[in-house]
Structure 1
Amino acid sequence: MTPAPGTTNSSNNDERLKSFKNYTMVVYGLYALGLFLGGVPTVIGLIVAYLKRNEYSGTIYAEHMRFLIRTFWYGVLWSVVALILAMVYIGFIVMFAVGIWYIYRIVRGFLCLNDGKGIW
């Protein structure tokens, strides 16, 4: 594919990476919004992360998508454990810890993304 007149491959690549960054920011935003709206936006963010992760292969944005997908599934796992442990009242402490961990991962990931860094 040849670039349009007056453009270069570099500018096309820059726009492509900017688009990747924007999509990744939206997914982080959906995950954060899920804290306030019962998780539905988080599930939408998870779907977007799964759809975009292969397209982002070889970029820092693929790391971010993998990080977000893992955040979701580990969050679900530990929330289920917390619900089971709620029968003996320790589950509330575990659920609180899961919430703090989730917020930390979203904030850390967004800050790394904003600085143009990979997550690891």
Structure 2
Amino acid sequence: MTTTEPTEPSSGGPPQGSGFDFNQPTVIALLYLLSFATGISGLIGIVLAHVWRGDNREAWADSHFGYLIRTFWFGLIASLIAGLLSFVLIGFLLFPVIAVWAGVRSVLSLVKAQKREPMPDPATLLF
């Protein structure tokens, strides 16, 4: 007769038995991605990012907060510049580039947050 001992959940990954971990960086990244459809959820995401950053106790998540906060603010600034440049038509070409940039950064953060891994370089403007 074999007995099974209860196993402790690992602290390095998502909780055992669940397919998706709704940790704080994941929620923010999902709100950013949802803003492509709603247009407003990104504002909720940036507020949560700033609030949760102060409450955070995990080092891996702190890198995500910095990364996602930079994604929002630089995306907003770039969109405002593209809006001004749309008067000379080049701005219309910049909007899709900004959308892809923000989308890729949000997805990268989402994937890393699911693994509870830190962002390699949260201060970068690239990926």
Q: Structure 2: where are the runs of 5+ without partners?
A: 1-7, 16-20, 121-127
Which letter does structure 1 place at the counterpart of 2:89?
A: Y
Which letter does structure 1 place at the counterpart of 2:51?
A: L
Measured against aligned partners, the alpha-carbon deviations of 1:57-96 in whole angstroms (never above 9, x if no partner) come to 5511011011111100000000011001101100011111
CA contact (8 A) 1:112 1:119 kept: yes
1:37 aligns to what? 38
Which letter does structure 2 place at the counterpart of 1:88?
A: V
1:60 aligns to what? 60
1:104 aligns to what? 104
Aligned pairs for 1:13-92 within 5 A = 14=11, 22-38=23-39, 40-57=40-57, 59-92=59-92
Q: What's the CA shift for 1:27?
A: 1.2
What percent identity do the matched residue pairs reach? 27
Root mean square deviation of aligned Cα: 2.1
Aligned residue pairs, count: 105
Q: Structure 1: where are the runs of 5+ without partners?
A: 1-9
Partner Cα distance (1:78, 1:60) in 2: 27
Partner Cα distance (1:71, 1:57) in 2: 22
CA contact (8 A) 2:26 2:109 kept: no
CA contact (8 A) 1:56 1:62 kept: yes
Secondary structure of 1:54's counterpart equals helix
Secondary structure of 2:38's counterpart equals coil
CA contact (8 A) 1:24 1:64 kept: yes
Which letter does structure 2 place at the counterpart of 1:44?
A: I
The structure with the greater share of residues assigned to helix is: 1
Partner Cα distance (2:81, 2:38) in 1: 22
Q: What's the CA shift for 1:56?
A: 1.6
Q: What TM-score, normalized by structure 1, do the two folds share?
A: 0.78
